[in-house]
Structure 1
């Protein structure tokens, strides 16, 4: 299946470069380019791509607002690109619905990989960005108790906790002593019940609802191979 992509950046050479790299892949087709956020939103609505690459800083409408409009009104998934390794942009982009966040110095292979990962429904954040995001959340005071997670079963809460700790499906399966297929089912249920688009938003939700708090051990207090305590 061909992955259809819209590339948006106000710098023509940068935009064309990304488009050329992606178009050279046998499974990726760049269906449109845009020089500002407003035209990016129009292109997504017109061409119904699978993924939109959005520069954060663009005229008329910046990448964050374009991401918010695309996430709210279409099934297209977004990857944000910027030269600015700034926490503020990361938080805004992820809350706007972005499924990926990469710096513009990303390697060619990593750019292609990111598009493929996001297109299949997963999320991807540059390692340096992910480390800063998690560090920022763990520095914050614990949020007040929230009943948002009450819709989850005990096992789904455990799955969300391990997601927030950065474990892969295989690692979660090992911790909960279940199959990877069962983990995928739990992850899907968590996303559906909480109205989340992907694993990145699930991690944010876990921190914002207090399921994960500053100072908690990386495995939630449970040893590897045993499930964490129920919340």
Structure 2
């Protein structure tokens, strides 16, 4: 296993910038290079490229301390990459910088091990603050993201709001009368996975039958009523 080191002075935080948009990467790198105490050691175009570059940097003794990671990228997305990066280099810290602040993405990133989550409309100074916080071992969240997490913890969502996007799709298919096998075929998943999703939907909605689930889906407008 590699440990995070830097080829620069010990008080300088090395950063790998990972984003599939060249303009974003170069803009971030230019800003960070002008920021005291932070040095961009390399750039990567996606999660897979990040792993390759980190391996090379580790071999050269220039492994950064922090990875600044986008979420939606080709080949390997940011959420998957967080886990892969931390598995290969457990001393690193990963800060997410993305345009997407949905609670599901935030929770997935934090569960994968992210040490921060920022939206791309964040002030440049906040990006630097998140990098420094990650380096200290703290977690830095965008204020809007932190607010969503707090509201979720204080008042957990109920009804359809408690379902993930996939679970809402499952609910709509249940309302259409599809069996677990048919749902599996429709979504290209295993029948066991479909059955698990249906069970989660019923549990979250506090329902005891597929018929009740279908009625909820119709009432909430997920599917039209029969004969409509």
Counterpart of 2:38 in structure 1 is 28
Counterpart of 2:148 in structure 1 is 132
**Structure 1: gaps spanning 5 or more residues:** 142-231
Counterpart of 2:137 in structure 1 is 121
1:68 to 57, 78, 83: 83
1:76 CA drift (Å): 0.8
Task: Quote the Cα distance in structure 1 between the aligned partners of 2:23 and 2:145.
Answer: 25
- Structure possessing the higher radius of gyration over alpha carbons: 2
The alignment status of 1:58 with 2:68, answered yes or no, reads: no
The alignment status of 1:15 with 2:30, answered yes or no, reads: no
Counterpart of 1:96 in structure 2 is 112
Task: Quote the Cα distance in structure 2 between the aligned partners of 1:88 and 1:29.
Answer: 31
TM-score (norm 1): 0.59
Counterpart of 1:194 in structure 2 is none
Deviations 1:103-127 (CA, angstroms, capped at 9, x unpaired): 0011111111111111121110011
Please provide the CA RMSD for this pair.
Answer: 1.3
User: SS of 1:40's equivalent?
Assistant: helix
TM-score (norm 2): 0.59
Task: Quote the Cα distance in structure 1 between the aligned partners of 2:105 and 2:86.
Answer: 16
Task: Quote the Cα distance in structure 2 between the aligned partners of 1:130 and 1:15.
Answer: 25
1:44 CA drift (Å): 2.5
Aligned length in residues: 141
Query: Segments of 4+ in structure 1 off by > 6 A?
Result: none
Tell me, yes or no, if the aligned pair for 1:71 and 1:98 is still in contact at 8 Å. no
Counterpart of 1:105 in structure 2 is 121
Counterpart of 1:182 in structure 2 is none
**Structure 2: gaps spanning 5 or more residues:** 1-10, 58-62, 158-228
